[in-house]
Structure 1
Amino acid sequence: MADEFLFPSIDPTHFELTVVGTGLPESIIAASSSSIGKTVLHLDPNSFYGAHYSSFSLHDFTSFLQSQQQQEQKQLTKEEEEVRDSNSSRDTNFIEIELKHQCLYSDIEITSNASSEDLEPSRKFSLDLSGPRVLFCADSVVNLMLKSGANHHVEFKSIDASFIYGEDGKLFTVPDSRSAIFKDRSLGLLEKNQLMRFFKLVQAHFGLNESMLQQEKNRISDEDLESPFVEFLTKQMLPSKIKAIILYAIAMVDYDQESPEQCKNLVKTKDGIATLALYHSSVGRFTNALGALIYPIYGQGELPQAFCRAAAVKGALYVLRMPVRSLLLDKESRQYKGLRLASGQEVFSDQLVMGPSFIVPAPPVLSPHTDLQQDISQGSILREVNGHVARAVCIMKGSIKSNVSNVLVVFPPRSLLPEQVTSVRVLQLGSNLSVCPANLFVLYVSALCDDATKGKKSLHAAINALLKCSISENRETSAHLPDESEVVTPTLLWSAMYIQQLTKVSEDPISSCPMPDGNLGYTDILESTEKLFRKIYPGEEFMPEAKAPEDVVDEQESQ
């Protein structure tokens, strides 16, 4: 009982929406709900913001993974359930259902090849839990930040260059613009013309060039749009090297598109073209961004915090270090009513949204004939495992490319190993992003996989390749690069490798937010989040545009 006094009392006790967890989707839901005038209580059992989208110091990152490794799912015995049921009747109107937690991470390996002094100070590191992840300058998340005003709470820098791993063990620059194509020395004149012609076709199809839009021959037919993207690229007479660049380094496709029998996601042309259009519209959108991609200073954990701040400005109430003990259901209707917190306090709300780590067990006290029992038994408890993401975080001394800090590298399927059926993506970040001390670099590596063994094998192969491969001189600026004989060899100081499970949550009475996926960007996460918001508040505007401060002053003066 003494511990209960450590928790603050929450007042008021009734809200229109309660959100548990401060991950990016939960934070967007809170910000959007508060912006339409809903009263929001936002809780998190952790002492930090971001949940699975957090950025940690080196010490905290290690501690978090170790805690995940040691975490055991507590199984209630029949006697405990009976005690819980009897104790839950403090208010005879409610049934209490204890929440459980699922661990998303497994097969954790932490290796250090350096002394503690080499990695000090720990607080200088800001390590992402679900990296590698970047934002396209023109994607929907950036637009949402601008619309909501969350952009005022975070700063970005551009990713300096993108590379693709070639068959000869070298890294080649990804030509992502007309000027880059002309400067690229690895492409022949015919290849440059083919790539330019294809990019013009994409621009014409989406109306980015109005004069081309008038030419019907530059439109992509409906039949082609529904065909596999790889077949459409072949139809355009593009050589294998150009197809690999378009598929895996620009369209960011995961699975090997050349092997349909083994491909779990054969991308259609309409989807591939849409990603290309996003990529090209991102190049040059912001004057301080060199290419298509940007990354938040201090790490991706700044994104959920930015939306939390936007929600707080609109009146949302935030309480960290507040675990949720159980759900409260109405005994008559079996509908959700509120939560019992670790402090013992009961708080109530009309709607509830939870992060992906929380599981609602099937309540033994409910009749199997009730709709809620059926929904929970089919939804929240049995979450279908829908694959895994192998992730690695490395700390290195020395950059994989001389004189460049922030670099994206893509290893196409089967470029490292015959059994490598998915792309491996690597994001290197330097101290100019405030994610590590000077002269050190952080490497994020990820790949979709069926199991831990295959996933880690691909990650190890990519890391080993980067430690010994050189950059091909394929730009006119190559005079500033080291000689071909001067191979850049970074030193691996520390690494953490782990497997994150991907689960598919069916529709259930308690809304659950999406977990971090295996994509490089946030687009799919945002789409799922918006869908969840519209389920909770049908007919309401998702994230209304924030008013400028001068507009608020004018509105107040006119009242």
Structure 2
Amino acid sequence: MAELPPYPPIEPSEFDLVIVGTGLPESILAAAASAAGKSVLHLDPNPFYGSHFASLPPDDLSGFLDHPRPSSPDPAAASGGDDLAAASIDLRSLYSDVEISSFAPETLEQHSRKFSLDLSGPRVLFCADKAVDAILKSGANQYVEFKSIDASLVCDKGGNLVNVPDSRAAIFKDKSLSLVEKNVLMRFFKLVQQHFSGDGESDRISEEDLASPFVEFLAKMRLPEKIKSVILYAIAMADYDQEDKEACKIVISTKEGIERLALYHSSVGRFANAVGALIYPIYGQGELAQAFCRRAAVKGCIYVLRMPVIALHIDKESGEYRGVRLGSGQDIFSHKLVLEPSFTVPSSRGLLPQNSLMENAQVKAKMARGICILTSSLRPDESNFLIVYPPRSLYPEQVTSVRVLQIGGNLAVCPSGMFVLYLSALCDEASQGKKILHRAINALMNLDDSEISESTPASTVQTEEARADPLLLWRALYIQELTAGQVGTVSSTPMPDGSLGFNDALDATVKLFQTIYPHEPFFPETPAEDPEDDGALSVET
């Protein structure tokens, strides 16, 4: 472990809540607890905010993915006295099969600090989702600005990228839809709208239909295959092939499907400067965690970066958590402790109740993630857009969707004239996930599968100077574990999930907050502290 800089003692040394890690769930929790009047100490062993939700330059991101596992300290050295025992705390790696390729190292070195790459991309916010509401309600909107995503596209069975018709106007402007298809789609959207706004039972979709798989309901509505694919994978954002009952691990019900459809449509037009349903934070998604941290600091939360926790203090008699030993040697005591998901407490110590241990925190699945830096946009007239490759659209064995997000320099995540591409897909094994990402990259770059594959040397990409398509300057591919959080005297937050948005992460954070503080409101309603703050979200044109 690198030598820590000297730190003055933290005062006070007792808190209601200690949080380790400044990822988005931890930062929201810190802001909510501080707003509820709790004393909070928020620590992070890293020199930056965001943890697994951070936005980092390429070298820092590579270092975070390959972070060495530190040696466990001697618990006896952290003993807090006769009444307390020490439980060692350790870090586990939640990333594997990391593959970093730099095809133009001199160019990247020249601009390295101008990149802000999302560790858990692709990820955006729907204008009408709960995460945006939490940003507004907490006051974090004062510290972050957004731009809208210019377009959403989906790959059809012919391999063509077509626009997602996200509004009535978009449907009628869409030249890829026939008049019959437009009418069918409009009738379906009207049916969904009536379900949520209608007063009578005749306006609502039946309970039997709501409980049925969404794909079956769409078939019942006689929607063409092309429109079904758009609704399932580009609007409802289904992860697995809904038509394949054996391969589909998560079946979307009609109730879930129409709720996602309603969210998408209510997001269009919510903010005047947002051209579509989706927005993205300027400087990267790491700004969201920092915005909540700033809000927490205003409410009295104390922040210390570069400060690891090396051990827990446990009451010898009751076995309950009492406090932590910091890397600086100081002992801090608190009623509750929340750890980001990399931390584990070995259960063999027998010092904590079984349900409080995080050594074997549940690993739900794996997420294949990719980041590419390009010399130009994949679409000449657009900088920021989302692409969805539904299952089977890249190759027959593809059972999960691939989501691709391109972000340009106008969002301050890369130098002007360059673009960042984020890709993700759920997978069971690393080889499966890497294959999906490689196929998507090849399709986007107009390459044959043989041109850039798992075994292709970097020089192959560098010699494509005559190609009119964008050049690939840098690429990172890696597998991320999807772990669930745990709740107890010592709690943990979840890893970034496979969703495109932040609602699932927010739901998990709200549940954790309400478990820790069941009688406290999650961000109570308070008058605006700044009279000039109108409580709106800043979406730049």
> Any residues of structure 2 matched to 1:147-546 within 5 Å, and which?
147-207=137-197, 213-214=198-199, 216-364=201-349, 366=351, 372-376=352-356, 379-468=357-446, 489-546=469-526
Question: Cα distance, 1:373 vs. partner?
Answer: 3.9
Q: What is aligned with 1:84? A: 75
| TM-score between the two structures when normalised by the length of structure 1 | 0.88
Shift of the 507–14 alpha-carbon distance from structure 1 to 2, 3 Å rule, reads closer
How far apart, in 2, do the equivalents of 1:102 and 1:59 lie? 21
Retained in 2: the 8 A contact 1:249–1:410? Answer: yes
Question: Cα distance, 1:122 vs. partner?
Answer: 0.7
Shift of the 334–440 alpha-carbon distance from structure 1 to 2, 3 Å rule, reads same
**SS of the residue 1:391 aligns to:** strand
Per-residue CA deviations over 1:151-192 (Å, capped at 9, x if unaligned) read 010000000000001222211011000000000000001100
Q: What is aligned with 1:47? A: 47
How far apart, in 1, do the equivalents of 2:23 and 2:434 lie? 26
Shift of the 4–498 alpha-carbon distance from structure 1 to 2, 3 Å rule, reads closer
**SS of the residue 2:380 aligns to:** coil
Q: What is aligned with 1:28? A: 28
Per-residue CA deviations over 1:457-508 (Å, capped at 9, x if unaligned) read 0001011101129xxxxxxxxxxxxxxxxx9722211100000011234544
How far apart, in 2, do the equivalents of 1:329 and 1:290 lie? 53
**SS of the residue 1:43 aligns to:** strand
Question: Cα distance, 1:218 vs. partner?
Answer: 3.0
Retained in 2: the 8 A contact 1:375–1:509? Answer: no
How far apart, in 2, do the equivalents of 1:5 and 1:266 lie? 51
Q: What is aligned with 1:9? A: 9
Shift of the 397–413 alpha-carbon distance from structure 1 to 2, 3 Å rule, reads same
**SS of the residue 2:445 aligns to:** helix
Question: Cα distance, 1:62 vs. partner?
Answer: 2.6
Q: What is aligned with 2:62? A: 62
Retained in 2: the 8 A contact 1:155–1:296? Answer: yes
**SS of the residue 2:469 aligns to:** coil
**SS of the residue 2:100 aligns to:** strand
Does 2:533 match 1:548? Answer: no
Per-residue CA deviations over 1:89-139 (Å, capped at 9, x if unaligned) read 451110110101111111001112224125631111110000000000000
**SS of the residue 2:307 aligns to:** coil
Retained in 2: the 8 A contact 1:73–1:102? Answer: no
How far apart, in 2, do the equivalents of 1:384 and 1:319 lie? 29
What amino acid maps onto 2:318 in structure 1? S
**SS of the residue 1:499 aligns to:** strand
Per-residue CA deviations over 1:430-456 (Å, capped at 9, x if unaligned) read 000000111110000000000100001
**SS of the residue 2:16 aligns to:** strand
Per-residue CA deviations over 1:338-357 (Å, capped at 9, x if unaligned) read 10001111011111111111
Question: Cα distance, 1:217 vs. partner?
Answer: 3.3
**SS of the residue 2:63 aligns to:** helix
Shift of the 4–230 alpha-carbon distance from structure 1 to 2, 3 Å rule, reads closer
**SS of the residue 2:231 aligns to:** helix
Retained in 1: the 8 A contact 2:486–2:492? Answer: no
How far apart, in 2, do the equivalents of 1:458 and 1:217 lie? 44
> Any residues of structure 2 matched to 1:113-128 within 5 Å, and which?
113-117=103-107, 120-128=110-118
How far apart, in 2, do the equivalents of 1:460 and 1:125 lie? 23
What amino acid maps onto 1:534 in structure 2? Q
Per-residue CA deviations over 1:281-328 (Å, capped at 9, x if unaligned) read 000000110000000000000000000000000011111111101000
Shift of the 348–92 alpha-carbon distance from structure 1 to 2, 3 Å rule, reads same
Query: Which entry has the higher C-alpha Rg, 1 or 2?
Result: 1
Per-residue CA deviations over 1:5-48 (Å, capped at 9, x if unaligned) read 71331011011111111000000010000101111111111110
Shift of the 5–269 alpha-carbon distance from structure 1 to 2, 3 Å rule, reads closer
Retained in 2: the 8 A contact 1:402–1:488? Answer: no
Retained in 2: the 8 A contact 1:380–1:508? Answer: no
What amino acid maps onto 1:541 in structure 2? P
Task: Indicate the RMSD between aligned Cα atoms, in angstroms.
Answer: 1.9
Q: What is aligned with 1:557? A: none
What amino acid maps onto 2:136 in structure 1? L
How far apart, in 2, do the equivalents of 1:455 and 1:221 lie? 38
Structure 1 stretches lacking a partner, 5+ long:
208-212, 367-371, 470-486, 553-559
What amino acid maps onto 1:405 in structure 2? S
**SS of the residue 1:164 aligns to:** strand
Question: Cα distance, 1:380 vs. partner?
Answer: 1.3
How far apart, in 2, do the equivalents of 1:185 and 1:512 lie? 49
How far apart, in 1, do the equivalents of 2:350 and 2:389 lie? 52
| TM-score between the two structures when normalised by the length of structure 2 | 0.91
Structure 2 stretches lacking a partner, 5+ long:
448-466, 533-541
Shift of the 507–365 alpha-carbon distance from structure 1 to 2, 3 Å rule, reads closer
| Aligned residues between the structures | 512
How far apart, in 1, do the equivalents of 2:530 and 2:241 lie? 52
Retained in 1: the 8 A contact 2:78–2:311? Answer: no
How far apart, in 1, do the equivalents of 2:519 and 2:531 lie? 25
Q: Which deviates the most, 3-12 or 197-206?
A: 3-12
Q: What is aligned with 1:474? A: none
How far apart, in 2, do the equivalents of 1:550 and 1:248 lie? 41
**SS of the residue 2:217 aligns to:** helix
Retained in 1: the 8 A contact 2:481–2:495? Answer: no
Question: Cα distance, 1:204 vs. partner?
Answer: 1.1
What amino acid maps onto 2:204 in structure 1? R
